Amino acid sequence: MSLKLKDKVALITGASSGIGAAVAKKFASEGAHVILVARSVGGLEEVDDEIQNAGGSATLVPLDLLDTAAIDGLAMPLYERWKKLDIFVGNAGMVGKLMPTQQYVPDLWENVFRLNVHANQRLIRALDPLLRQSEAGRALFVTSHVAHENKQFWSAYAASKAALEVIAKTYANEVAKTNLRVNLIDPGPTRTRLRSLAYPAENPEDHPLPETKAQMFLDAVLSEENGVVFGG
């Protein structure tokens, strides 16, 4: 069987559970060495065990992306070990709370933007030189259809994802003449912790497991498209 990501190095944020973990396991099964970034050491270790047991390889990076200044330290160790980064998946995200805009708690509002927007810009800043060292660098950011729907009570999350989309598409235009391709992906409703926080009353079994979405991510990073949204 031909491994589609053989010898690739892929960094995935929010990789300790949900979609991030599923994507990491999928990429590892296709031959990539996956760099798993998340706050939860225990969650990272569980994902690593699954990857190792399946014959894959991973590096664990416990990191709280709300500490945006700490992101700057990611690049040098990656450069020293691999000299490049082939794939970056910006998956980590925060819903916050669903509430009227005028009632939103300022600290929580700022954290939603710090993780969904500011952290991804800092990651772009840190990882761009490494992605450009790849023969075919790929950056993929997770978005949501709510960014375009103006749904009541969703202002913080929706606005942060709209901002992320603008950043990603602008970045795509800026690198259009290089080997780097930058896209977004909307995996749609999925049985994750993030979904249960947003919709605590719904039956989680009404939605597919994260593992069913992993192929979408693989297809996206193998694509030659630039500045588009996959899925949705």
- Structural contact between residues 194 and 95, judged by C-beta atoms closer than 8 angstroms: yes
| Contact between residue 31 and residue 55 where contact means Cβ atoms under 8 Å apart | no
Q: How far apart are CA 161 and CA 183, in angstroms?
A: 13
- Beta bridge mates, 230: 185
Alpha-carbon torsion (2, 20, 48, 54), positive or negative: negative
> 199 an active-site residue?
no
Catalytic annotation, pick one of 79, 157, 171, 199: 157
CB atoms < 10 A from the CB of 214, how many? Answer: 21
Work out the number of other CB atoms within 10 angstroms of the CB of residue 124.
21
Cα–Cα nearest to 95, from 232, 187, 198: 198
CA–CA dist 57, 75 (Å, integer): 19
Residues forming the active site: 157
